Each structure stands twice: as structure tokens, then as C-alpha cells.
């Protein structure tokens, strides 16, 4: 036991040792929250002799879960199998894979990402003769996503929809759900919603999982939305051995449906709850911590924490007023260049409110020859060539996946256009489509006797996709080819092929195709974040959550930009802007 508690302060030890009943851990930024979670899991396993199989542990990202597993294994001294540690989405996928037949699905169902959902919605709009120019498919996807995160089904949405746009969404939502079912697919929000609905409608299945998940740990509880909150409440209702960790002051995902009141109301939901406050900050200087505290103290709806640190006072917080964004970016670039003689470039982060603000920074950084990278720009798994290869793989596993089929039916070009597809649907024979279906069957058979990485190579050759990238002018005689991303040079084609090789390295770590597809479908922006000593990190304040840097610049702190123009007249939204500022400031360690 001494080993597990070594290096923990008194409140941290309390948070580790209170294992029975509900526990709320209010953890300020830099207070050793992750350390507490890992030591708590190790304590439950080693001291309380709880089986790892009986622990349900949710983290904010898959990367956080992987790092936590490694730390726990170090504490335990052996490689423990922790099957129920991950994000809410990854844990719900496991439940749904096990219970798929109970809700009319095959265990090989596909998971649609945001782009797939939008593609499916475009198809519905076309079927309903609704003009996608007037009604943005992305906006409709967001409306359906918001409804699902609030536990609102298609039928319920139809009953409560108001206004012209919502009426259109009410038409699209049920047809979209019907198409998902036909395609044996869930969208990202379904993973949680369908799990909660399954538990609510089938008490015996809920009881089965309550028996498994006797101890529940939830990280970043302030960022839970309605459906996540309900999932936790259902699972914890029997044994009530639930520990939630978070900081209402760092709740910044209101636009995704997160409700910081979940953490403020925890003691009402669980009247017997004990509360432990982690108030000692190990990350920032006194100046940084005091300034951040002054910002968040302006919020009325918050828990009371008195953050403190034994770290030095540190340098005063710098303030620079610029005439415009170019002058601001130039100042930042030159400050970094001056400091870079003493510290690696990975020590610097530039944070901003919206993605559009990166343009001026990039322009100036290029002029100043300052290496940088943007976190959360065009994510790796959203690149066209990656989506194309994944569509082939998904169609191999799930032949009903209409979105994947539509994506790759004519990529590379096979002379299969909308008219060809329409005539085939009417029962007319078409050799080109027949050849495609035979190729897919060949790929499916090969997949059964090989690993995911080799299968990707096989797909590139058999489908002609490799030639398509490296020799983009090839195509059916007399037909203009569909290029991978518009006109591109051989160098660009090779770059796309290099991205696919990178995908193969991920595939090599997965035992089978199903687990590989599941892994890539659940990845988030921060899962791709890797420290690099040669570049400055540029990112939005939202993407900075959970990270830390010795030196942080926050740019664009002006009314209408940060705080955002949408929030200025709404007290609730203005409080979220303050929380976002608080998060940004507390990413900094030294200045």
C-alpha cells in the first residue's frame, strides 16, 4: 500500500482510499488528477482485490486511456488487462458489439463519422426532394447530433419540432435512422444513445452490466452531456461505487451538449457522496495561477476551490496590444525566436479561439522561418485517400454499408456513373458493376486469411488505387478520370500513398480487421497529438484541453473574437468563455 500512496499529498491519498460509495473529486488544473486516477485503480486492484474486469473507467481521449493503462501497469508491476477503460464511445461500442443481435444489428456493424453522416443525410435530402442548397446537410447533421446527445429519438423530435428548419430535420431524422439500420451502421452519437436506450428498455441486460461494473470512475465529469450522464447514472444505480473527477471551471464543451451542472449536482444525485478537493497546483507559477483564478472568480455558477502552489512567483504575465493580426503574429513569432535559444520549440504553444485565426500566424511564421504545426487541422483520418481505403475495408466487413459503397464504387474510375447505378438498381445487367462486386468478394475472401496491413496492400493493387495515385492520368479510354483530390502532381500522389503507408503502421498493431476499424473510427484530434522538439504548436483553446507547455501565447483577446461575439449578450455563454480563458491560461507552466 505504501508504494501506491507514495508521492501523493493528503487530499490525493483520500481520493485514492475512499473506494466505497459515491465520491466527487474536484480537481483544479495541474493538481495531479491523472495521478490520482491511476493510483486509485491500482489501489482497487492491489489493496481491495477488485478484479480489473469489474472496473468501468472513462477518460476524455483514447490517448489518455492508453497513457493511464501504462502508468497503472507500472504501479501494479505486471501487465494487467483492463478491458473496460477508454472513452464513453469506445466502451459503448464494446457493449453494442456484445448485444447487437438484441437490437437487430449484426456484430460487424459499421461506425459512421461526421463526414459519413453528412453523406447519408445528403442521400436522404435527395430522396425527399429537399434542396441541400437551402438546407445545409452539415447543419441538419448537427441538429440530429444535438438531439441524440439529449436522448431525443426521431419520433420524439417530430413531436417537439418548431420552426421551418426543425420541421425539415424532423422529416430527415427518421429516414436517416432507417437508412442507418439498413446499412447496419451507427453514427457516433448512436454509440451512446443506443446503449442507454438498450439499458432502459431491457432491465435484465442493464442488471448484467451493473453486476460487471461494480466500480465506476469517470474522468472530466464536467464535460459529460445528457446521454453520458444518464449512462453513468444507470450503471451506478445498484452499487453506487462511483468516483467522478473534474473541474466545473474547465467545462468548455457546451456547444457539444456538455453540461457543467452535472458535476455541480453530483451531491444531489448521490446524497451520500463524499467530496475531496485537489487544490494544490503543481504546474503553473503563482502569477499564472492567481491571474487565472481572478478570471474564473467572475463566474457565478461554480464550485468554490482555493487553488494554491508552492511553485515560484514567476515572470509577470505579458500583455501586448497590436494594431492588427499581422502585427500580433509578428510579435509572437519574434518573442518565440528570441526565447528559442534557451528552450526547445516544443515548449511553445500559441492558442486561439477559432481556427480562422491560424492564417495570420502561419503567414508570419513562414516569413520568419519558424517551424510550426497545427493541432486539429485536417485530421489524418479525414484525408480523402485514407477515407477511400477505409471505405474498402468497411465494405469488406459490412457489405450493407451504403455510404462506403457509394464512396468507392467509382474510385478509381471504373466508368460507373449515376445513370449506370440507377439502371443497375432497376435490375438491368451491367458488367462494370458486376466486376466491382466480384472484386469486393475476392477482397472479402482474402481478408479472412491475412492481417489488416497486408490487406491494405492487396486492396491498393487489386482495386488499381495505387496506380490511380501514382499515375493519375490513367483511366478508362475516352473518359476523364476522377482524381484523388482534384488535379495533382506525381509528388502529391506519392504523398497520398505515404499517408496510406502510415495507416498501415496503425493496422500492424491490430490483431484483426474489425478491431482496426473500431480503433480508427473512435480516434480524436488529441489522440494524434505527439510532442515534437522541432516545432511550435498552434491550436484552438479547445484542442489545448489536457495539454501543458512551458510557454503559452493566447492571441486575439478582444471583444467579439475572444470572448466570441455569440457569447457577449448571453450570461451563460459568457461564463463558458471565461472557463475557456481559464483553461488556456492554466496550460502554461512558466510564462
CA neighbor of 228 nearest in space, from 260, 204, 201: 260
List strands edge to edge, sheet with 551-554.
Answer: 372-374, 536-540, 348-352, 551-554
Mean pLDDT of 563-589: 92
Residue 283, pLDDT score: 96
User: Is the pLDDT score of 484 beyond 50?
Assistant: no
The lowest-confidence range among 67-81, 366-380, 434-448, 479-493 is 479-493
Residue 378, pLDDT score: 57
Quote the cell numbers at residue 479.
473518359
User: Is the pLDDT score of 324 beyond 70?
Assistant: yes
Express as a percent the part of the chain with pLDDT over 90.
71
Q: What angle do CA 344, 74, 67 make, to 5 degrees?
A: 50
> Would the CA dihedral through 46, 5, 13, 234 be positive or negative?
negative
* Inter-residue long-range contacts of 489-498, CB under 8 Å, 24+ positions, other chains counted: 493/469, 494/469, 494/470, 496/383, 496/384, 496/385, 496/469, 497/385, 497/466, 497/469, 497/470
Residue 9, pLDDT score: 96
Residue 181, pLDDT score: 96
CATH number at residue 355: 3.40.50.300
Residue 188 lies in a domain: no
Mean pLDDT of 131-135: 91
Which residues carry a binding-site annotation?
27-34
Residue 256, pLDDT score: 82
Residues 6 or more apart whose Cβ sits within 8 Å of residue 156: none
Q: Give the tens place of pLDDT for each residue, 541-569.
A: 999 998 999 999 999 999 989 998 888 88
Residues 6 or more apart whose Cβ sits within 8 Å of residue 377: 355, 358
- Same structural domain, 59 and 76: yes
Cα Rg of the chain, angstroms: 26
The SS3 call for residue 509 is coil
Quote the cell numbers at residue 437.
462486386
Q: Give the tens place of pLDDT for each residue, 149-182.
A: 999 999 999 998 888 999 999 999 999 999 999 9
- Same structural domain, 534 and 522: no
Residue 565, pLDDT score: 85
CB 396 within 8 A of CB 402: no
Residue 418, pLDDT score: 83
Residue 462 lies in a domain: yes
User: Is the pLDDT score of 483 beyond 80?
Assistant: no
> Would the CA dihedral through 187, 190, 191, 194 be positive or negative?
negative
- Same structural domain, 418 and 501: yes
Mean pLDDT of 333-344: 93
Residues 6 or more apart whose Cβ sits within 8 Å of residue 95: 195, 198, 209
- Same structural domain, 86 and 174: no
Residue 475 lies in a domain: yes
Task: Give the confidence band of 144 by pLDDT, cuts at 50, 70, 90.
Answer: very high
Mean pLDDT of 111-130: 95
Estimate the crossing angle of helix 452-462 against helix 431-447, to 10 degrees: 160
Residue 555, pLDDT score: 97
CA neighbor of 228 nearest in space, from 172, 321, 131, 149: 149
Residue 62, pLDDT score: 86
CB 371 within 8 A of CB 536: yes
Residue 39 lies in a domain: yes
Residue 293 lies in a domain: yes
Mean pLDDT of 87-99: 95
Calpha distance 358→361 (Å, rounded): 5
Calpha distance 470→465 (Å, rounded): 9
User: Is the pLDDT score of 486 beyond 60?
Assistant: no
CA neighbor of 232 nearest in space, from 215, 246, 252, 247: 215
CA neighbor of 370 nearest in space, from 557, 538, 541: 538
User: Is the pLDDT score of 532 beyond 70?
Assistant: no
- Same structural domain, 403 and 487: yes
Catalytic center residues: 33-34, 219-220, 250, 587
Question: Based on the structure, what is the number of domains in the chain?
Answer: 4
The lowest-confidence range among 394-398, 403-407, 566-570 is 566-570
CATH number at residue 144: 1.10.10.160
Task: Give the confidence band of 494 by pLDDT, cuts at 50, 70, 90.
Answer: confident
User: Is the pLDDT score of 191 beyond 50?
Assistant: yes
Residue 58, pLDDT score: 95
Quote the cell numbers at residue 550.
512551458
Mean pLDDT of 497-514: 90
Domain-terminating residue out of 500, 526, 552: 526
Task: Give the confidence band of 524 by pLDDT, cuts at 50, 70, 90.
Answer: low
Residue 190 lies in a domain: no
- Secondary structure element (H or E) that encloses residue 492, with its range: helix 490-507
* Average pLDDT in the chain: 90
- Same structural domain, 85 and 228: yes
User: Is the pLDDT score of 525 beyond 90?
Assistant: no
The lowest-confidence range among 425-429, 501-505, 569-573 is 425-429
- Same structural domain, 390 and 496: yes
User: Is the pLDDT score of 478 beyond 50?
Assistant: no
- Same structural domain, 345 and 455: no
User: Is the pLDDT score of 480 beyond 50?
Assistant: no
Task: Give the confidence band of 572 by pLDDT, cuts at 50, 70, 90.
Answer: confident
In this structure, how many other beta carbons lie within 10 angstroms of the beta carbon of residue 3?
Answer: 12
Compute CA distances 165 → 101, 122, 162, 172, 338, whole Å. Answer: 35, 15, 8, 11, 52
Calpha distance 512→529 (Å, rounded): 25
Calpha distance 116→180 (Å, rounded): 11
Residue 481, pLDDT score: 43
- Secondary structure element (H or E) that encloses residue 442, with its range: helix 431-447
Task: Give the confidence band of 479 by pLDDT, cuts at 50, 70, 90.
Answer: very low
Which residues carry a binding-site annotation for ATP?
27-34
Domain-terminating residue out of 278, 303, 329: 278
Task: Give the confidence band of 487 by pLDDT, cuts at 50, 70, 90.
Answer: very low
End-to-end CA distance of the chain: 37
Domain-terminating residue out of 245, 278, 311: 278
User: Is the pLDDT score of 59 beyond 80?
Assistant: yes
Residue 209 lies in a domain: yes
Residue 193 lies in a domain: no
The SS3 call for residue 582 is helix
Task: Give the confidence band of 471 by pLDDT, cuts at 50, 70, 90.
Answer: confident
- Secondary structure element (H or E) that encloses residue 277, with its range: strand 274-278
Higher pLDDT among residues 220 and 479, named by residue: 220
Quickly tell me which residue has 495515385 as its cell.
469
User: Is the pLDDT score of 488 beyond 80?
Assistant: no
- Same structural domain, 400 and 522: yes
- Same structural domain, 407 and 537: no
Higher pLDDT among residues 531 and 581, named by residue: 581
Q: Give the tens place of pLDDT for each residue, 204-230.
A: 999 999 999 999 999 999 999 999 999
Q: Give the tens place of pLDDT for each residue, 346-357.
A: 999 999 998 889
18: containing domain: 2-93+201-278
Residue 30, pLDDT score: 94
Residue 54, pLDDT score: 96
User: Is the pLDDT score of 430 beyond 80?
Assistant: yes
CATH number at residue 493: 1.10.486.10
Quickly tell me which residue has 474547465 as its cell.
250
- Same structural domain, 341 and 296: yes
- Same structural domain, 573 and 508: no
Quote the cell numbers at residue 432.
462494370
Q: What is the DSSP string of 205-239?
A: HHHHHHHH--EEEESSGGG--HHHHHHHHHHHTTT
Residues 6 or more apart whose Cβ sits within 8 Å of residue 108: 184, 397, 398, 514
Amino acid at each position: 500500500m505504501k508504494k501506491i500512496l507514495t508521492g501523493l499529498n493528503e487530499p490525493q491519498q483520500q481520493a485514492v482510499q475512499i473506494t466505497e460509495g459515491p465520491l466527487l473529486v474536484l480537481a483544479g488544473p495541474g493538481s495531479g488528477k491523472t495521478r490520482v486516477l491511476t493510483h486509485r485503480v491500482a489501489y482497487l486492484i492491489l489493496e481491495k482485490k477488485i478484479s480489473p474486469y469489474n472496473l468501468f473507467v472513462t477518460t476524455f481521449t483514447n490517448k489518455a486511456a492508453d497513457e493511464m493503462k501504462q502508468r497503472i501497469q507500472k504501479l501494479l508491476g505486471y501487465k494487467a488487462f483492463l478491458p473496460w477503460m477508454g472513452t464513453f464511445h469506445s466502451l459503448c461500442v464494446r457493449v453494442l458489439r456484445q448485444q447487437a443481435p438484441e437490437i437487430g444489428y449484426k456484430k460487424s456493424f459499421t461506425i459512421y463519422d461526421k463526414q459519413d453522416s453528412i453523406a447519408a443525410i445528403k442521400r436522404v435530402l435527395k430522396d425527399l426532394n429537399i434542396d441541400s442548397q437551402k438546407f445545409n446537410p452539415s447543419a441538419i447533421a448537427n441538429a440530429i447530433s444535438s438531439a441524440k446527445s439529449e436522448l431525443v429519438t426521431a419520433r420524439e423530435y417530430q413531436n417537439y419540432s418548431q420552426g421551418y428548419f426543425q420541421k425539415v430535420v424532423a422529416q430527415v431524422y427518421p429516414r436517416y435512422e432507417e437508412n442507418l439500420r439498413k446499412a447496419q451502421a451507427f453514427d457516433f452519437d448512436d454509440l451512446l444513445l443506443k446503449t442507454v436506450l438498450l439499458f432502459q428498455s431491457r432491465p435484465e441486460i442493464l442488471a448484467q452490466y451493473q453486476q460487471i461494473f461494480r466500480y465506476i470512475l469517470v474522468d472530466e465529469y464536467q464535460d459529460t452531456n445528457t446521454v453520458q450522464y444518464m449512462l453513468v447514472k444507470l450503471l451506478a444505480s445498484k452499487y453506487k461505487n462511483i468516483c467522478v473527477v473534474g473541474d466545473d471551471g474547465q467545462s468548455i464543451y457546451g456547444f457539444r451538449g456538455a453540461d457543467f451542472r452535472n458535476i455541480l449536482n453530483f451531491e444531489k444525485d448521490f446524497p451520500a457522496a463524499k467530496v475531496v478537493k485537489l487544490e494544490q497546483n503543481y504546474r503553473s507559477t503563482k502569477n499564472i495561477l492567481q491571474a487565472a483564478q481572478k478570471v474564473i472568480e467572475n463566474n457565478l455558477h461554480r464550485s468554490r476551490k482555493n487553488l494554491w502552489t508552492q511553485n515560484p512567483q514567476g515572470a509577470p504575465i505579458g500583455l501586448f496590444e497590436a494594431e492588427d493580426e499581422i502585427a500580433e503574429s509578428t510579435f509572437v513569432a519574434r518573442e518565440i525566436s528570441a526565447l528559442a535559444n534557451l528552450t526547445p520549440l516544443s515548449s511553445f504553444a500559441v492558442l486561439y479561439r477559432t481556427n480562422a485565426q491560424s492564417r495570420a500566424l502561419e503567414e508570419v511564421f513562414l516569413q520568419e522561418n519558424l517551424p510550426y504545426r497545427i493541432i486539429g487541422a485536417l485530421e489524418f483520418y479525414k484525408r480523402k485517400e485514407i477515407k477511400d481505403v477505409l471505405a474498402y475495408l468497411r465494405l469488406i466487413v459490412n457489405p450493407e454499408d451504403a455510404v462506403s459503397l457509394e464512396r468507392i464504387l467509382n474510385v478509381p474510375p471504373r466508368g460507373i456513373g449515376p445513370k449506370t447505378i440507377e439502371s443497375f438498381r432497376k435490375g438491368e445487367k451491367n458488367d462494370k458493376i458486376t466486376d466491382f462486386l466480384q472484386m469486393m468478394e475476392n477482397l472479402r475472401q482474402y481478408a479472412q486469411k491475412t492481417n489488416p496491413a497486408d490487406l491494405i496492400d492487396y486492396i491498393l493493387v487489386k482495386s488499381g488505387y495505387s496506380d490511380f495515385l501514382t499515375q493519375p492520368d490513367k483511366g478508362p479510354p475516352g473518359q476523364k478520370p476522377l482524381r484523388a483530390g482534384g488535379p495533382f502532381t506525381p509528388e502529391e500522389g506519392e504523398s497520398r500513398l505515404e499517408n496510406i503507408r502510415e495507416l498501415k503502421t496503425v493496422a500492424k498493431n491490430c490483431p484483426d480487421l474489425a478491431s482496426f476499424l473500431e480503433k480508427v473510427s473512435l480516434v480524436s484530434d488529441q489522440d494524434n497529438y505527439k510532442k515534437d522538439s522541432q516545432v511550435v504548436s498552434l491550436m484552438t483553446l479547445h484542442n489545448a484541453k489536457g495539454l501543458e507547455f512551458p510557454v503559452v501565447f493566447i492571441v486575439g483577446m478582444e471583444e467579439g473574437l475572444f470572448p466570441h461575439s455569440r457569447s457577449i449578450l448571453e450570461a451563460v455563454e459568457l461564463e463558458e468563455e471565461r472557463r475557456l480563458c481559464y483553461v488556456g491560461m492554466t496550460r502554461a507552466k512558466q510564462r
